């Protein structure tokens, strides 16, 4: 038997009617951010790994990240078995708009050193570092992330040494009353410039 709540939900059609337009609006926002990042990379960029894509990028449309639809943009991006360098923007229905820098490879100790040196600035107050065993875990909770400013050096070092990658994230919750006025391009560029600062390595 169907419960009254299930019948009520079955008759809720508005989300399906509005979803295509919402996704298109989000996709337009991501493409505008992509264009701005590409321009920024031609002028001023950290030392990127060889063969890093800085012009094409990848926009992914998905229907099931833990049951919720999403859009993600990777630019710049480099993925291999031993190395990662990507800036991912994630628009996750029911959750948040997130900006993340994911790093893995032989320069990981240098990235970690720079993170520990820079994180004392007030700009890092709302940045989180991943602690999950995989960089593809996006649920924002105390199991998967540490606040960069509140964690100790030892906690951050231990986490990175255990998982062997760095993922730094900024989250903009859709439940925030200011989300509707959020400038995605400005927020994305600000996060890129801050997070990528740990990737400026002196050879």
CA dihedral for 182, 186, 34, 64, sign (positive or negative): negative
CATH number given to 14-199: 3.30.930
143 DSSP 8-state letter: T
Q: Locate 25 and state its tokens.
A: 């609006």
CA distance 57 to 75: 5
Domain range annotation of the chain = 14-199
Tell me the average pLDDT of the chain.
96
Instruction: Give the residues of the chain that fall short of pLDDT 50.
Output: none
- The per-residue pLDDT for 108 is 97
Percentage of the residues of the chain whose pLDDT score is greater than 70? 99
- The per-residue pLDDT for 144 is 98
């Amino acid at each position: 038997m169907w419960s009254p709540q299930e019948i009520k939900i079955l008759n809720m059609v508005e989300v399906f009617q509005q979803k295509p337009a919402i996704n298109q609006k989000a996709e337009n926002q991501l493409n505008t951010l992509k264009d701005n990042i590409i321009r920024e990379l031609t002028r001023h960029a950290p030392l990127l790994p060889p063969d890093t894509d800085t012009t094409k990028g990848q926009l992914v449309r998905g229907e099931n990240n833990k049951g919720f639809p999403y859009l993600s943009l990777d630019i710049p991006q480099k993925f291999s078995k031993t190395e990662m360098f990507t800036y991912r923007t994630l628009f996750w229905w029911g959750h948040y708009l997130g900006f993340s820098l994911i790093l893995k490879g032989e320069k990981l100790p240098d990235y970690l050193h720079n993170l520990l040196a820079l994180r004392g600035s007030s700009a890092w107050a709302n940045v989180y570092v991943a602690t999950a065993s995989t960089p593809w875990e996006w649920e924002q909770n105390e199991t998967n992330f540490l606040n960069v400013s509140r964690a100790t050096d030892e906690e951050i070092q231990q986490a990175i040494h255990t998982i062997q990658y760095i993922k730094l994230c900024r989250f903009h919750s859709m439940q925030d009353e200011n989300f509707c006025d959020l400038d995605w391009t400005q927020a994305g560029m600000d996060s890129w410039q801050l997070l990528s600062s740990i990737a400026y390595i002196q050879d």
